[in-house]
Amino acid sequence: MEDKKGIESPALSEQRPPMVCFIAFLRVNSDGNYEIDFPDLTGCITVGENLGLVSALAGDQLLNHLTSLMNLGYPVPTPSREEQLADDPRRGCADLMAFEVDLEMLGIANPLTYHPL
């Protein structure tokens, strides 16, 4: 990935493949709203009134979170695998969703796809 000055980011290209998959917890709250949170990214939580809205908002939140980490010089955390989070006590009764991000396209194009697991 290149930064604004056109210099390749060695930290990104050397540490992880460009495509990463973050698993999120999807819950329906007692008020009927949907909530998606990313257990690997502290504070990356989104709430919306329906599944389509909360999924889109969560994708935006994920991209913003990752972009902020990279812009501040912090490493992008290695995502937990689906099987690790399936038994995670923080999951409770939440469903799992996968959000795949192309880190090389972050900030250039829409690098995100998502789907329920």
DSSP bridge partners of 37: 25, 45
- Whether 74 has a pLDDT exceeding 80, the answer reads yes
- Does residue 10 belong to any structural domain of this protein? no
- The answer to whether residue 38 is domain-embedded is yes
* Position 9 in a domain: no
Q: Which residue has the tokens 């501040």?
A: 72
Domain CATH for 83? 3.30.160.250
Task: Give CA–CA dist 16/77, Å, rounded.
Answer: 10
> What is the amino acid identity at position 96?
L
- The model's confidence at residue 103, banded by pLDDT at 50, 70 and 90, is confident
The tally of domains found in the chain comes to: 1
Residue 23 has pLDDT above 90, yes or no: yes
Q: What is the pLDDT of residue 105?
A: 79
94: pLDDT confidence band, cut at 50, 70 and 90?
very high
Residue 11 counted as domain residue: no
User: Does 6 map to a domain?
Assistant: no
- Does residue 4 lie within any of the structural domains? no
Domain that holds residue 50: 18-116
Among 25, 42, 28, 31, residue whose Cα is nearest residue 116: 25
pLDDT tens sequence across 49-69:
999 999 999 999 999 999 999
Q: What is the 3-state secondary structure (H, E, C) of the chain?
A: CECCCCCECHHHHHHCCCEEEEEEEEEECCCCCEEEECCCCCCCEEEECCHHHHHHHHHHHHHHHHHHHHHCCCCCCCCCCHHHHHCCCCCCCCEEEEEEEEHHHCCCCCCEEEEEC
